[in-house]
Amino acid sequence: MKSIVILISGRGSNMASLLDAVASGALPVRVAAVLSNRAEAKGLETAAARGVPTRVLDHQRFADRAAFDAAMAEAIDEFSPDLVVLAGFMRILSDGFVQRYAGRLVNIHPSLLPSFPGLHTHRRALEEGVRVHGCTVHFVTPALDHGPIILQAAVPVLDGDDEATLAARVLTQEHQVYPLAVRWFAEDRLRLSNGRVEFAVAQDDSGVLIAPRARRPH
């Protein structure tokens, strides 16, 4: 069974979805540890309550990003994970850190990449007037939010949406697709080839989302 280390900075809702999937048997991995750069991260309490080892490395106590990343890498390597999972880890990682875990470092981003990399994705989607928004699970590369895409989920953007309602709709899908993507990795059902992800997974071509779509009258 493969093992993973999860990095968080806050409440860790995606971390919790991964832990739930492990507990239910839907995700066949061992969560070796949860690490955070913030001692006040609520997700640490959640992980500890599940019996998962936790550790804090406060980035403010390091001279620079390279020093912090080196210390974080050392802490990760103590657990010898097969995969490092970013779940709301709010740090831009150095190239050296990313290259150290090339092909085994994944992230989930709240947009349909390559659209809206970076912050404030829901606000920007609303400002641009897109009709479809969503989330993306991808391998991490030195280019911010531009790594090879593993899995995406799309949701409609509805008239009357604000950042909160749209974020909630996307987050529901994040909690579904992140455990699935990690499962495919754990089961060796995906691989990187020439900068793209290829699958040994049966694919279904029936999933079409049209937005907006009016409800039929009763």
Residue 212 lies in a domain: no
Residue 143 lies in a domain: yes
Enclosing domain of residue 41: 2-199
pLDDT at 209: 85
- Cα within 13 Å of Cα(111), Cβ side: 19
Q: What is the pLDDT of residue 110?
A: 98
Residue 23 within a domain: yes
Is 214 a member of any domain? no
What is the predicted pLDDT for the residue at 202?
Answer: 82
Q: Is residue 22 part of a domain?
A: yes
Which positions are annotated as active-site residues? Answer: 109
**Phi, psi (degrees; rounded to nearest 5) at 110:** -85, 55
Give residues with Cβ within 8 angstroms of 131, minimum separation 6: 156, 157, 211, 212
List the pLDDT tens digit at each of the 218 positions of the chain: 999 999 999 999 999 999 999 999 999 999 999 999 999 999 999 999 999 999 999 999 999 999 999 999 999 999 999 999 999 999 999 999 999 999 999 999 999 999 999 999 999 999 999 999 999 999 999 999 999 999 999 999 999 999 999 999 999 999 999 999 999 999 999 999 999 999 987 888 888 888 888 777 76
Assess if residue 208 is contained within a domain. no
Residue 59 lies in a domain: yes
Is residue 120 included in any domain, yes or no? yes
Report the domain count for the chain.
1
- Domain of residue 80, CATH code: 3.40.50.170
